[in-house]
Every structure is written in structure tokens, then in C-alpha cells.
Structure 1
């Protein structure tokens, strides 16, 4: 309970020492010690020596890294008085009286100091001054001026002026920054415009190169198709018509792609609709291609059926011819048997010869028939093999053409999707950058507003805290504050601050 008041009392004594320390620091203003007499000077020197010895002794015996405080008996008595319980009204009244007494003492001390300085100036003006005295006087004058300026800077009005100066400088810097920012934004916009123009030129040049390449490819395909049409046989006419149809479809798709490229600069909705339309047309082309493939497959099936019917018809005719041969052989065998029966009545030797001859004739006939049958079967197999090989070659050629067409359509479709996707990505990236710039700008503005509000609140608080001091020193220092204000305005003008930001400081009342 006793420790807390003692700390408070020590703080009060330290504050009082700080308040009187400012006058002690500038007390050596050239006053004559003879005005106080010898005893006064000796007493003053003895008090100074005692205070210095106490300070040095306290510094010797005071530990460096502790929280202990050394106080005198007078401070101890004062702390004991402060430890007693007093009403808040009495405390406020006492503080007010002490503050008024302190201000009166400070005014008297200031008046006494000015009187002493005037007397000293008169005395020095009447006597002959040497070089050293003039130098000392100049040094003292500079010290007094610097001390007076330091004292002036502690005044609330001057602080407010400094705040206004700082605000004027800040808004001047801010205006310069805004002008620089607008200039940078304008330069960036011009650079972006130039870059967009260069990109557009490169894009158009790339489109022209691609168109030329596509035209060359189309011309080469047409020349190749004409050469193929001159070399293939009649059965290749259908494939040539299909190839021409594919070329026409490819040219139509290329024209559609060219149309899409010319409309790239339209709005995103237009590009999406165009992409959707292109996808539908590609789907329709694929559907037509599928139908064409189905028709080709049906034609192939019908051709296979015709070949099978031809082979079956040929087998049927050969079977009929074989049956006729068998019937003829059977008839001849019956005729031979009949003749043999008729000749049985003849001599046995003649009968055996006839039978042997008939047997040989039958065997020769059978050998000839088997050889003919084998040759016919080989011929049929060779013909069927040739037909199947021709069919396979035609099928492979058709599949290769269809694969090439499908691959070309796939490449074109992927190119369309890639162009559309790249355009969408570029648009999204552009929107993201613009949104980020807007957010950063908004954040910067909010930060500036917050800093400005905080600064205004702080200036207002400082202004309110220093208001009492301003009211006390208003009549005494109004003329000096006016000169300080003019000096501040001159400094701002010299630093290049516009007149519109000096109006507030110039119109500031020093009441």
C-alpha cells in the first residue's frame, strides 16, 4: 500500500524537475553575476556543487540494473502527505492551484529573465567589446535562438502548424504521386495499345501464312487427285468422287475457319455462338461422313453378296455340268454293259479284249474328267483369290482415304478448339488482371483514407491535449506565433508547396 504512492510521488518530482530543466539549460544567457552579489554567486555555486556531488554520488552508489529509487527527506515527507486519503475534488482543486502557481512562477521567471537580458544588453552596449566578447555574444545569441526555437516547437500552436505543414507537404507529395501515377498509367495504356496493335499485325500475318499454306495444300491435293484419276481404272471412279466430295467439304470447313478467324475480335458471346455453330457443323459433317461410310459399307456388302451369288451360280452350273457328265458316263457304262452282254456270245478272247478296251476307255475318260475338274477348280480358286485380293486392296485404299480424311478433320477440329480455348483464356486472364488492378487501387484508396482519418484523429487529440497551454500563452506569445506562422509559410513556399495548401495555415487563427 505504501509502495504505490511513493512511486507516484517520485514521478511527480521527476516531472517537476523536467519542467524546470528547460529554463536551467538556457540560464547562461550572459547575465551579470554582480547583480546578485557575492553571497548570491557563492550560494549559487555551492548549491550547484552540492547538487552535482549528490548526482555523482547517486550515480556511484546506484546499481545499474535495478528498479530502486533514491529520494530525499523532503520528497519522503511529501510522499507521506500524498499517502493520506483526500477527496477527488480537493485533489483537483489542489492540482489546479499548483498549476496556476507554477504558471505564475514561470511567468515571473520569464519576466525576470527578460529584464536581466535587457540589463545585460544595455551594459554590454555601453562598454567596449572585444573580439572574444563579440564571438561569445554571437554564440550566446545563437544558443538563445536555438533554445527559443526548441521552446517554440513545444507549443501546441506550433505543433498544430507543423501538422498543417506536414499535411500540406503530404498532399503536395500525394498530388505529385497521383500525377505521376496518371502519367505512368497513360504511358502503360499507350504501350499496351502499341503491343495490341503489334499482336494484331502478327496474328493477321500468321493467318495469311496459314491461308497460303492451306491453299498450297489444297492445290497439291488437287494435283495429286488429278494424277490418281488419270492412273486408276474404272473401279476407282467412286473413290475419286468420294475424294472430291471430301475436298469440297474440307474447303467448306476451311472457309468456315477463315470466317471464324475474321470474327475473333467480336464479343465473347459471339465467339461462343460461332464455336457452337462450328461444333454443330462439325457434328453434321461427321454425321454425313458416318452415313457415307454406312453407304459404302452397304455397297461393299452388296458387292460381296453379288460375288457370292456369282460364285454360287457358277458352282450350280458346274454342278449341273458335272451331273450331266455323270449321267453321260452312266449312260455310256450302261451302253458298254449292254454291248458286253451282246458280245458275251462271241468268243471269250474277243469278249475279254472288248471288256479290257471298255475298261481302258472308262479309265481314260475318268482321268480326263478328273484333270479337267482339277484345272477348273484351280481356275476357280485363282479367280476367287484375285477377286478377294482386289477386294482387300480396294478396302485398304478406302480405309486409308477415310483415315486420312478423319485425321484431317480431327486436326481441323482440334485447331478450332485450340484457337477458341486460347481466346477464352486470354479474355479470362485480361479480366483477372483488370479485377486485380481494381482491387489493388481500391485497397490503396482505403488505406489512404484510413491513414488520413487516423492522422486527423491524432492531430485532433494532440490539439485537444495542448489546448490548455495555448489558452494560457495566447496573449503573451501571439505576436511571436504569428512570426513563426509566417516563417512556416515561407518555408513551405520555398519547398514548392502550392498556394491552395497554404491557405489553411495562412487563415489559421492564433487565438
Structure 2
């Protein structure tokens, strides 16, 4: 396990440091050299070594060794440490890995949740016991009252039986019963009407909401169609403008070609006339030569 490896590495380093004497690196450092032990205090440390005796399962007894120098040696008191405390000190002194820290945190959370759950269970049990006690107290207080109430109810029932023997009382009871039935029936009818009215109101509200959503959708479609048509018209205008520009450019190019053509023709005519003049001059020159 990672914990055991860490413990072995720490233990190994402590063994190596104990077997090798400390070497002073800087004598001007502000460090107490006695913290690392010397040849003199090794003997004193061996004399002050403690012997650990495990007593039972839950306690550990730590005692100083018996001093053989004589009865003048001061008496040493025994130190008792619980085994759980010793294990806790060892665990806290050991370097934990990331997994062990997560596991330790998880165990602590589980223990806390367990304590909270037990505390809530105890509170619930105490509350139930208190309710049971109050209920028993009320039953104990009402025992005498129940006897008197039962006697009174018997007398009242006998009186009612005597009264019901008369026709007027029976008719009155029938009318009262009919009145109760009619009242209950009217209340039920009114309740049904209220439910129906609420349902119809809710349906009208839903219909109105659906109509509003439908009108919103139509408006949105109209806006989109208008934007599409506007975009098409704008695109058509752009295309028409492009066609006009191309036609204008083509006409300009035709005019330029016509101008170039006429210029070339003029140049050709000029060359021809110049050649004719040269031929005439040559002919005249040859005639003058012939005459001479």
C-alpha cells in the first residue's frame, strides 16, 4: 500500500540518520547543534530511554527504565496513553498520499452523517415518547368524563326516542333532513357550475393565447415575405444597373474602335496620296532628264 511504503521510507531515513553522525556544515549558523545529538548525549539518551508496555487492548503504559545508580535517583512518574491516541499520533505524523487523504475525508464525512442521523433518530424517539405521554395523560384525565358523557348520552337518546314518537317531531325531522339534502345538493350543483365556469374560462384564455400566437406568426411571415420581395426587387435593380453599365461600356468600346478604324483609314489615304505624289515627281524628274 502507499501508506506502508511511505512509512517504510520515513523509517528507513530515520535509521540511516541514527546510524550516521551529524556533520556540521556551517559553524556560524544559528542552529542548536544539540538537536541532532552528540557522542556525549548518546549515552544520556540511552540512559533516558523509555520502555513501552502494552496493557490490555485499549491502553499503552509507558515507563522509564529503572535507574541502577542508587536510591538517590529521582522517581519517574508513569505516563499512560490510550492506544487509539497513540495510533492517531502515528497516523498524523505519517505522510498521507492523495488517495489516503480522500479516503480519510470520506470516512470523516460518513462518521459525521452517521452522528447526525443518530441524533435525529434520538430526537424523533424523544418526540414520540412525549406525544405518547401526553396522549396517555389526556386519556387518564378523560376517563371520568367519558362515564358521565355516556350516561348523559343514554338519557338524551331516551328523550329523543320519546320525542320521535310524535308525528310532528317526525315530520320536522324529515323536513330538516330534506333541507340538509337540498342544501348539500345545491352546494354540489354550484360547485359543478363553478368548476365548469373555471374550465370554460381557462379554455377561453387558452384560445386567446393561441390566437395571439397565430397572429404573431402571420405577422412574422408577412414581414419575412416583404423583406424577401424587397430583396428581390433590390437584386433586380442591381442587375438592371449592371446591364446598363455593360451596354454603356460596350458602346464606348465601339466608338473607340470606330475612331481607331477611321484614323487607320486616314493614315492609309495619306500614305497613298504621298506615294502618288512621289510617283509624279519621279516621272517629272525623269522627263526633265530626258529633255536635257
Common fold by TM > 0.5: no
Q: Tell me the TM-score normalised to structure 2 length.
A: 0.31
Greater helix proportion: 1
Greater strand proportion: 2
Higher RCO, 1 vs 2 (CA within 8 Å, ≥6 residues apart): 1
